[in-house]
Chain A
Amino acid sequence: MAHIHLGEGAFPLWALALWSAVAVILLGAVVYRIRRDGIESEQIALAGIGAAASFAIFQLNIPIWGGVHMNLTALVGILAGPLLGALIALVVNVFSAALGHGAVGLLGANVLVNATEAIAAYYLFQTLLGLDWDVFPASASAGTLGLAAGSLLMGAIIVISGVNGSQLPRSDLMIAVGGLVGLNLGVAVVEGLLTGFIVRFLASVRPDLVAAEEQTGRSGVTA
């Protein structure tokens, strides 16, 4: 559920430029890979539904841990693959920012955070399946760890950038960010388990949608 909820102008200009540039490079690489290798049709179908679900849940504040929202980016990454997962992170963040949920200036940073969640969850899931794990523990663990990776990146981005208007010295800012990342890890468990249940359910009713790489030979989106 990592998402940088700071207003416009919270980051210095150089940081906005830096994170936007890194996000553009990542998305450029993603689009290049998709154009070069193509996409399997079932993943396009999953990407469409995944984007709808992710966008919907992104805007809903649930009453746990004081009030947080989930992203479903790990689920989207596991189902649609890392490339489409990164593009869905872009789409969801653009529309969320258009509605005022997340600063437009932080789009690059937030896309990086959410794309990391999708990409990390996908590769962890495939690795665990390769180690002969069952679908539920593999997807729940991959989801939790993928979201944890996004939280750590979110913390790193905030610490590197600094926050305009904050009187905290860098060391205190790191401690404050550590607290936020810690909270995010707790939320990651909830979302990770939800991801596990959904993937397990899909694997039982439509195993072709959740097949491991070697079964489908998904050359298109398996980076």
Chain B
Amino acid sequence: MERWKQYLALVTLAGGSLVAGWFGFRATGGGLPWAKRAESALLGGLQSGGGSLVDITRGIIIAGPIRQQGLVLVYVGLFLIFALIGVWLYYRYGRQRESSTAERGGSRS
């Protein structure tokens, strides 16, 4: 497919989804965090609200239940364990790939 058609399809998809997102944002309470928004909408119905789509001053924060229960260190520890396992697997794959390439090269010579 021609490249401009691919990007036109992507822009159309993104535009339609953003419009749906904007209506959903306004209809479900405006500037509310997702958990509060879901609870209030599902228990009390739709309540329109305003607020900005992007609130930089709020910053990126760790999910409420983790912060409130003091589990930030556990979260960081779990992430580090996952990351170390991931990097180790990646390293093993790289080594395996190198050795199989070397074996193929050796068998040819």
Contacts and interface: CB of A to CB of B under 8 A. Distances in A.
Contacts of B82: 48, 51-52, 55-56
A140 interface: yes
Main secondary structure of the interface of A (DSSP, over half): helix
Given A51-B86, A64-B54, A180 B41 contact: yes
Contacts of B57: 63
A45 B13 contact: no
A114 to B, nearest CB: 15
A126 interface: no
A100 B93 contact: no
A81 B36 CA distance: 33
Interface in A1-15: 1, 3-6
A161 B19 CA distance: 28
Nearest to B82: A52
Nearest to A168: B45
Given A61-B61, A166-B43, A137 B38 contact: no
B102 interface: no
A105 to B, nearest CB: 15
A31 interface: no
Given A141-B10, A179-B28, A179-B41, A186 B63 contact: no
Interface of A: 1, 3-6, 41-42, 44-52, 55-56, 59-69, 95, 99-101, 131-134, 137-138, 140-141, 144-145, 148, 158, 163, 165-168, 172-173, 175-189, 192-193, 208
